[in-house]
Structure 1
Amino acid sequence: MTNKAVARQLALTADLIELTGGNPFRARAYASGARTVERLEAPVATLAASGELSGVKGIGKGLVADIEELLASGTLASTDALLQSLPPGLPEVMRVKGLGVKKVRTLWQDAGVTSLDQLEGAAVSGRLAELPGFGAKTVQNLLDAIEHLKAYRGKAHLRDAVGPALAVRQRLRAAGLRADLAGAVRRQCNVVDALDLLAVGTPAQIAEALGGGRAEADRVEGAIPLGLPLTVFAATAQTYGRVLWERTGPREHVDAFTEAHGAPTDVAEEQEVYTAAGLHPIPAPLRDDPHWLTVAREPLPTLVRTGDLRGTIHNHTTASDGAHTLREMCDAARERGLTYFGVCDHSRSLQIAHGLSLDEMEEQIARVDALNAAYADEGVDFRVFAGSEVDILSDGAMDYPDDLLARLDLVVASVHTGFSMTEDEATARVVAAVSNPYVDVLGHPTGRLLLRREGYPLDHEAVLDACAEHGVAVELNAHPFRLDLDWRFVRAATERGVPVSINPDAHATDGLDDTRWGVASAQKGGLTAADSLTSRSADDLGAWLTARRPG
Structure 2
Amino acid sequence: MTNNEIMWKLTELRDLLILSGKKSSESESEEERIAAEEVEKTGNSSLIDQLRTKIPPGLIEMIEIPELDAITINKINRELGVTTLNGLRKVAKKRQLRRLEGISSKRELSILRSIKLLLEPPERFPSAIAKPMGDKIVADIMLIPGVINATLSGELRRGMEMVDFISIVIKGDNSEEILGVMSKHPLFKKNIFKSSLKLVVETNIKLKVEMEVAESSEYWHRVHHTTGSADYIEEFERIDKSRNITLGVDTINCEQDLYKKLDMQYVEPELRESKSVIELAIKGEIPELINMDDYKGDLHSHTMWSDGTGTVEEIARAAIKQQYSYLAITEHTKSLKIARGITEQELEQQMDEIDKLNSKFAEEGIPFRLLKGVEVDILKSGILDFENEVLEKMDLVIASVHTDFDQSKQKMTERIIKALENPYVNIFAHPTGRILGRRSGYEVDLDQVFAAAKETGTVLEINSAPDRLDLNYLDAKRARDMGIKIAINTDSHDPERLSNISFGIQEAKKGWLKAEDVINCMGLEELQEFFKAQKN
CA 1:397–1:25: 2 relative to 1, 3 Å: same
Select 1:195's aligned residue among 166, 170, 173: 166
Q: Could you tell me which amino acid in structure 2 is paired with residue 306 of structure 1? A: M
Select 2:414's aligned residue among 428, 453, 458: 428
Select 2:230's aligned residue among 229, 248, 251: 251
Q: Could you tell me which amino acid in structure 2 is paired with residue 185 of structure 1? A: L
CA 1:290–1:465: 2 relative to 1, 3 Å: farther
Q: Matches of 2:269 and 2:290 in 1, distance apart?
A: 14
Q: Which runs of 5+ in 2 are unaligned?
A: 1-7, 34-42, 53-59, 66-76, 87-111, 185-190
Q: Could you tell me which amino acid in structure 1 is paired with residue 270 of structure 2? A: P
CA 1:223–1:329: 2 relative to 1, 3 Å: same
Maintained 8 Å contact 2:147/2:178: no
Maintained 8 Å contact 1:478/1:515: yes
Q: Could you tell me which amino acid in structure 2 is paired with residue 312 of structure 1? A: D
Which residue number corresponds to residue 202 of structure 2? Answer: 223
Q: Could you tell me which amino acid in structure 2 is paired with residue 543 of structure 1? A: E
For the pair 1:286 / 2:253, whether they are aligned, the reply is no
Q: Could you tell me which amino acid in structure 2 is paired with residue 279 of structure 1? A: M
Which residue number corresponds to residue 549 of structure 1? Answer: 535
For the pair 1:445 / 2:445, whether they are aligned, the reply is no
1:314 deviates by 1.0
For the pair 1:487 / 2:454, whether they are aligned, the reply is no
Q: How does 1:241-320 map to 2 (within 5 A)?
A: 241-257=220-236, 268=249, 269=252, 270-271=255-256, 273-275=258-260, 277-288=262-273, 292-296=277-281, 297-320=283-306
Q: Matches of 1:383 and 1:347 in 2, distance apart?
A: 23
User: Secondary structure of 1:481's match?
Assistant: coil
Q: Could you tell me which amino acid in structure 2 is paired with residue 371 of structure 1? A: L
CA 1:532–1:14: 2 relative to 1, 3 Å: farther
User: Secondary structure of 1:315's match?
Assistant: coil
Which residue number corresponds to residue 392 of structure 2? Answer: 406
Q: Matches of 2:211 and 2:119 in 1, distance apart?
A: 30
For the pair 1:28 / 2:7, whether they are aligned, the reply is no
1:156 deviates by 5.2
CA 1:355–1:77: 2 relative to 1, 3 Å: farther
Q: How does 1:458-469 map to 2 (within 5 A)?
A: 458-469=444-455
Maintained 8 Å contact 1:387/1:408: yes
Q: Could you tell me which amino acid in structure 2 is paired with residue 59 of structure 1? A: E
CA 1:332–1:199: 2 relative to 1, 3 Å: closer
Which residue number corresponds to residue 161 of structure 1? Answer: 133
Q: Matches of 1:517 and 1:77 in 2, distance apart?
A: 39
Alpha-carbon displacement from aligned partner over 1:363-386 (angstroms, at most 9, x marks no partner) = 333333343344445544322221
Q: Matches of 1:339 and 1:10 in 2, distance apart?
A: 43
User: Secondary structure of 1:428's match?
Assistant: helix
CA 1:300–1:548: 2 relative to 1, 3 Å: same
Maintained 8 Å contact 1:169/1:180: no
Q: Could you tell me which amino acid in structure 1 is paired with residue 383 of structure 2? A: A
Which residue number corresponds to residue 142 of structure 2? Answer: 170
User: Secondary structure of 2:120's match?
Assistant: helix
Q: Matches of 1:11 and 1:466 in 2, distance apart?
A: 58
Which residue number corresponds to residue 153 of structure 2? Answer: 182
User: Secondary structure of 1:419's match?
Assistant: coil
1:153 deviates by 5.6
Alpha-carbon displacement from aligned partner over 1:448-487 (angstroms, at most 9, x marks no partner) = 2222222223443433332222212111112222221112
User: Secondary structure of 2:532's match?
Assistant: helix
Q: Matches of 2:421 and 2:167 in 1, distance apart?
A: 45
Q: Which runs of 5+ in 1 are unaligned?
A: 1-8, 18-23, 34-57, 67-75, 106-140
Q: Matches of 2:203 and 2:366 in 1, distance apart?
A: 46
Q: Matches of 2:116 and 2:180 in 1, distance apart?
A: 38
Which residue number corresponds to residue 4 of structure 2? Answer: none
Tell me which moved more, 158-167 or 486-495.
158-167
Q: Matches of 1:93 and 1:539 in 2, distance apart?
A: 46
Maintained 8 Å contact 1:411/1:439: yes
Q: Could you tell me which amino acid in structure 2 is paired with residue 384 of structure 1? A: L
Q: How does 1:35-50 map to 2 (within 5 A)?
A: none
1:205 deviates by 5.4
Q: Could you tell me which amino acid in structure 1 is paired with residue 413 of structure 2? A: T
Select 2:370's aligned residue among 384, 409, 432: 384
Maintained 8 Å contact 2:428/2:460: yes
Which residue number corresponds to residue 113 of structure 1? Answer: none
Q: Matches of 1:461 and 1:293 in 2, distance apart?
A: 30
1:417 deviates by 0.5
User: Secondary structure of 2:384's match?
Assistant: coil
Q: Matches of 2:10 and 2:440 in 1, distance apart?
A: 29
Which residue number corresponds to residue 349 of structure 1? Answer: 335
CA 1:508–1:77: 2 relative to 1, 3 Å: farther
Which residue number corresponds to residue 44 of structure 1? Answer: none
User: Secondary structure of 2:133's match?
Assistant: helix
Q: Matches of 1:520 and 1:248 in 2, distance apart?
A: 15
Maintained 8 Å contact 2:124/2:163: no
For the pair 1:364 / 2:357, whether they are aligned, the reply is no
Maintained 8 Å contact 1:317/1:343: yes
For the pair 1:505 / 2:491, whether they are aligned, the reply is yes
Maintained 8 Å contact 2:247/2:261: no
Which residue number corresponds to residue 26 of structure 2? Answer: 59
Maintained 8 Å contact 1:239/1:266: no
CA 1:357–1:93: 2 relative to 1, 3 Å: closer
User: Secondary structure of 1:295's match?
Assistant: helix
Q: Could you tell me which amino acid in structure 2 is paired with residue 498 of structure 1? A: I
Q: Matches of 1:473 and 1:11 in 2, distance apart?
A: 50
Q: Could you tell me which amino acid in structure 1 is paired with residue 169 of structure 2? A: L
Maintained 8 Å contact 1:345/1:356: yes
Give TM-score, length-normalised by structure 2: 0.72
Q: Could you tell me which amino acid in structure 2 is paired with residue 210 of structure 1? A: M
Tell me which moved more, 334-343 or 386-395.
334-343
1:538 deviates by 1.1
CA 1:249–1:401: 2 relative to 1, 3 Å: same
Maintained 8 Å contact 2:127/2:160: no
CA 1:492–1:259: 2 relative to 1, 3 Å: farther
User: Secondary structure of 2:449's match?
Assistant: helix
User: Secondary structure of 1:252's match?
Assistant: helix
For the pair 1:207 / 2:207, whether they are aligned, the reply is no
Maintained 8 Å contact 1:483/1:518: yes
Give TM-score, length-normalised by structure 1: 0.70
Maintained 8 Å contact 2:488/2:518: yes
Maintained 8 Å contact 2:460/2:486: yes
1:13 deviates by 4.5
Q: Matches of 2:305 and 2:454 in 1, distance apart?
A: 32
Maintained 8 Å contact 2:118/2:204: no
Which residue number corresponds to residue 135 of structure 1? Answer: none
The count of residues paired between Structure 1 and Structure 2 equals 451
Tell me which moved more, 269-278 or 409-418.
269-278
Q: Could you tell me which amino acid in structure 2 is paired with residue 60 of structure 1? A: S
Q: Could you tell me which amino acid in structure 1 is paired with residue 179 of structure 2? A: A
For the pair 1:337 / 2:323, whether they are aligned, the reply is yes
1:542 deviates by 0.8
